[in-house]
Amino acid sequence: MATLRVHPIASIAPQAGGRTHLGLLAAARAGLGVAALTRPVTALRATGLDRVTAERTAWAARLLGGRDLALGAGLLHALARRHPTSGWVWAGLLADAVDATALATAAARRQISPAAGGLAAALATAAVAWAAPAVRHDTSSPASTPDDPSGP
């Protein structure tokens, strides 16, 4: 019979602020940015907007896509160069917190599909939760982390 091992949260937390964790966060953000820049209507339609409204407001999706691409690329660059990352992490965390609030509000007011808006708000909230351990573990120094034992 197979045995399932469950690690306590305390043993996972130090790894959550590591370079691999931040690299995944940065790559996901940059990927979403590229998607919003290249397919703004599709990105907006995913929130439940009709085609005409999505086409009229595609410029807003491009703005947000550019922001996310810049934040993701900046964090990836800092990681690759072993530069401080805390500023990039904080900027992304704040942007995601504002996104979560704006999306939840729009969904509650039925300005966008409540289901799609709720899901998008949940994803933005998850991004905040994903970034929070990195902020707690002060990623500003390029010292080695549990998933990078080789050090700088």
Closest CA to 33 of 77, 73, 69: 69
Q: What Å distances lie between residue 74 and 19, 35, 82, 122, CA to CA?
A: 14, 17, 12, 24
CB-CB contact of 84 with 78 (8 Å): yes
> How high is the pLDDT of residue 21?
86
- Rounded to an integer, the average pLDDT of 73-93 is 95
Q: What is the pLDDT of residue 10?
A: 38
Using pLDDT thresholds of 50, 70 and 90, give the confidence band for residue 17: low
> Which of residues 144 and 61 earns the better pLDDT score?
61
Looking at the predicted structure, is the pLDDT value of residue 18 above 50? yes
Q: What is the pLDDT of residue 12?
A: 38
Instruction: Determine whether 152 is exposed, middle or buried from the number of CB atoms within 10 Å of its CB (0-12, 13-18, 19+).
Output: exposed
Residue 38 has pLDDT above 90, yes or no: yes
**What is the DSSP code string of 26-54?**
HHHHHHHHHHHHH-HHHHHHTTT--HHHH
The pLDDT value recorded for residue 47 is 84
Residue 73's closest CA among 20, 34, 126?
A: 34
7 sits in the region (left: phi over 0; alpha: psi -120 to 50; else beta) called beta
Q: What is the pLDDT of residues 97-119, one digit of tens each?
A: 999 999 999 999 998 889 988 99
pLDDT per position as a tens digit, 127-139: 899 888 888 765 4
User: pTM of the predicted model, to two decimals?
Assistant: 0.75
Q: What is the mean pLDDT of the chain?
A: 82
Residue 61's pLDDT band (cuts 50, 70, 90): very high
pLDDT at 9: 37
What is the predicted pLDDT for the residue at 138?
Answer: 54
DSSP 84-108: --HHHHHHHHHHHHHHHHHHHHHHH
Q: Given this model, what pLDDT does residue 81 score?
A: 96
